[in-house]
Structure 1
């Protein structure tokens, strides 16, 4: 397996993590301030934007027909599990890549990667960011394209 991975770009199995389910419950409780124990469909749509802003739009548009105008906690948990499992990890990789590619050249370099990592609380030396770019790059040793990044993140050493 590659030595570097994107934590939010992993291909999902058939379930969400315990941490994600805890996040669902915290969001549900925060939005259920109406003390009814239910969320309206409008509140659920807002919660989806908080948890998964790139959720499949067809799921959000079918919310009321699938669950009615209000959701209980078990319904909300089922819905959010379906949303996360149906999200395309390639969309997330592309979104993150576009954020890192601040100059919109279609490739990212070590300085851009280092800057984003620092913004997330990691402080790698430039040499570590350069090593990451070099490991993922196929055509250029000092920058990586979106396709190269996708290939790198979805491949293993056995390939």
Structure 2
């Protein structure tokens, strides 16, 4: 596994849990496709197979948490440029308002196969919302990503 701090491991576990929509402890090919589609990342079957092969080091057909950490650790904790973060932010800010609203976050989570309660969405927003306005600005998003 990548050399990660306890905090980084927890963050990767949270990300892994978002991918693992059936809570099986593994990410299947179908779940990986669902997440990529939710993020508007289009891949064909060949590209999806290559991605699975790269991540599935034990050839089980699924991606276990340790494989996910190995594959995503360096990518996940890499410092991104503001331009890269703006592009990612725009995927969530579907109405172009300059904010990620609870409704937009709920929609993207549903597209990932995670139908979350309103209280869960509100808790996610609150954890990132430093101004207390109930939505996530680009600056809040950038700050959260670069912690």
| TM-score after normalising by structure 2 | 0.45
Which structure has the larger Rg?
Answer: 1
| TM-score after normalising by structure 1 | 0.42
